[in-house]
Structure 1
Amino acid sequence: MINTGSHLVAKNLARFKLITFDVTDTLLKFSRPPEMQYALAAKRHGCTDLNEPALAKCFRSNFKRMAREYPNFGKCSTYDWQWWWRTLVMDIFRESHAHLDHERLNRIADDLIEDFKTSDCWTKTEMADEILETARVHCKHVGIISNFDPRLRDIIGVMNLPTVDFIVTSYEVGDQKPGGKIFEHALSLCNSRVLPCEALHVGNTPHLDYMGAKQAGWSSVLVNIDSASEKGVSLDPEINPKHVFRNFSEFIHVLKTVELKW
């Protein structure tokens, strides 16, 4: 357990009345790659000749296509989020394993929609509990802002993360990060007035989290930045390298030892 009473931590966070966190790859991450989870679901329905690399390739291409054609899990279309995920799953398997019949694909899709609500599919990132506890000690309001569908509340519940004041999903708000409305909505959920300059958002994606929060008038930090994205982060002149951390352990260490300039 970290010393959340550190004087320097308090000084670094003194200006903030609200701290919010992204979820996927920030507080939580998949316990196994999506293609492996898809293969496990298919095997439960008698599919044994599964090619996981093919599933992974089809997942990436079809997820991008669905996000482009039906943004925000279909929120502004005539379809709902469950249709969105069911269609994605079916298209992935049709493209990678064309012999699967519609009835079996439908059962696999239904299983996966439920599977990803459970703790079997998720694990906490390192020191996720500690950073939430630190935020709770030093700030009046702590929340979650995520581009996600309504299952997020179930997921947060089963993962036993420390309590937050609110959970904001893009689907329910009708706006995705980096859009400003989702950040405005988070401010409106605080039980006392919080100005944008009094809010800090913590996430792992430069465009959606860091720049989205900055454009909304908030402060922002990037965490859990892996080697694949470090080059892009370092080359972006709008991202302050002093606000980029490899993990929560590094972020907490800096909060305790360095006076940050926001």
Structure 2
Amino acid sequence: MRAPLRWVLWDVKDTLLKVRASVGEQYCKESERVGLSLSPAEVEAAFLQAYRHHSKKYPNYGVAQGLDGQTWWMAVVRVTFSQCGVQDPALLNTMAHNLYHNFSNAENWEVFPDSNKTLERCSSLGLKLGVVSNFDSRLEGILRVCGLLSHFSFVITSEQACVAKPSPAIFKQALQKCGVPAASVAHVGDHYVKDYIASRYVGINGFLLDRHHKHDQTDVPREHRLSSLEELLAKLQQHME
């Protein structure tokens, strides 16, 4: 007999909301404020290189090495602009500080049109909602200014949890908060490994959101796939019957 569904856990970035403009564009907008003129394409490429390097050297915002999200992100910004020829330490620090705080503002994020409605419908079915996200400590504030925070009973970030998806440990922390067996919990996210595979590994009912039809993995059955959040309710109701 199938366990009745009680909770839905959510990824956030690229599931419920997305960055409104490219990193290159947003970084260049900040650089213009201090009198610099840089190429968004060049800045984007430098950012991706800096981000990958720091993610490999200091995974999960470097929390295991004594760093935190703000320190980690400001270092990524400084390296990004350094690679684009900016060498003034004061300028680098100013832009790094401003950008870290800018990404806490609602105007830099776009909530997907189906997000609020789906969260409301989940709650109307009697389901409780939580967040499990590979994000830093700004996430709760971002959800608040984007009008999403009130939907959730708890928010777990990888910085706070000191462990990141796809580790089973972060999902086990979420299950402790839910207080029900994994079979009574669903998880919705857009990443094949970090969201779908990882949640199903611990027994959670994982759903893979594929808004742009980029996932072609043959081991994800149709009933676990979503091309939009509007498809979720019917699939959750099947687990509640």
- Superposition TM-score, scaled by structure 2 size: 0.92
Aligned letter for 1:151?
Answer: R
Structure 2: how far apart are the matches of 1:99 and 1:170?
Answer: 31
Q: Describe the SS at the equivalent of 1:88.
A: helix
Q: Describe the SS at the equivalent of 1:194.
A: coil
Q: What is aligned with 1:70? A: 58
Q: Among all aligned residue pairs of Structure 1 and Structure 2, give the percentage whose two residues are the same amino acid.
A: 26
Q: What is aligned with 1:244? A: 225
Q: Describe the SS at the equivalent of 2:226.
A: coil
1:20 aligns with 2:9: yes
Q: Describe the SS at the equivalent of 2:113.
A: coil
Is the Cα contact below 8 Å between 1:223 and 1:251 reproduced in 2? Answer: no
Structure 2: how far apart are the matches of 1:27 and 1:224?
Answer: 12
Structure 2: how far apart are the matches of 1:250 and 1:140?
Answer: 16
Gapped runs of 5+ residues in structure 1?
Answer: 1-12
- Superposition TM-score, scaled by structure 1 size: 0.85
Residue 255 of structure 1 deviates from its aligned partner by 4.0
Residue 144 of structure 1 deviates from its aligned partner by 0.7
Residue 259 of structure 1 deviates from its aligned partner by 5.1
Gapped runs of 5+ residues in structure 2?
Answer: none
2:73 corresponds to which of 85, 102, 105: 85
Aligned letter for 2:192?
Answer: P
Residue 14 of structure 1 deviates from its aligned partner by 8.1
Aligned letter for 1:220?
Answer: G
Q: What is aligned with 1:172? A: 160
Q: What is aligned with 1:104? A: 91
Q: Describe the SS at the equivalent of 2:159.
A: helix
Is the Cα contact below 8 Å between 2:223 and 2:235 reproduced in 1? Answer: no
Change (3 A) 1:14 1:36: farther
Structure 2: how far apart are the matches of 1:170 and 1:115?
Answer: 21
Structure 2: how far apart are the matches of 1:237 and 1:139?
Answer: 33
1:52 aligns with 2:40: yes
Is the Cα contact below 8 Å between 1:16 and 1:199 reproduced in 2? Answer: yes
Change (3 A) 1:226 1:36: same
Structure 1: how far apart are the matches of 2:99 and 2:38?
Answer: 16
1:222 aligns with 2:208: yes
Per-residue CA deviations over 1:117-166 (Å, capped at 9, x if unaligned) read: 11011010121001111221224421011001110011011001142100
Structure 1: how far apart are the matches of 2:151 and 2:232?
Answer: 20
Q: What is aligned with 1:8? A: none
Residue correspondences, number: 238
Is the Cα contact below 8 Å between 2:68 and 2:159 reproduced in 1? Answer: no
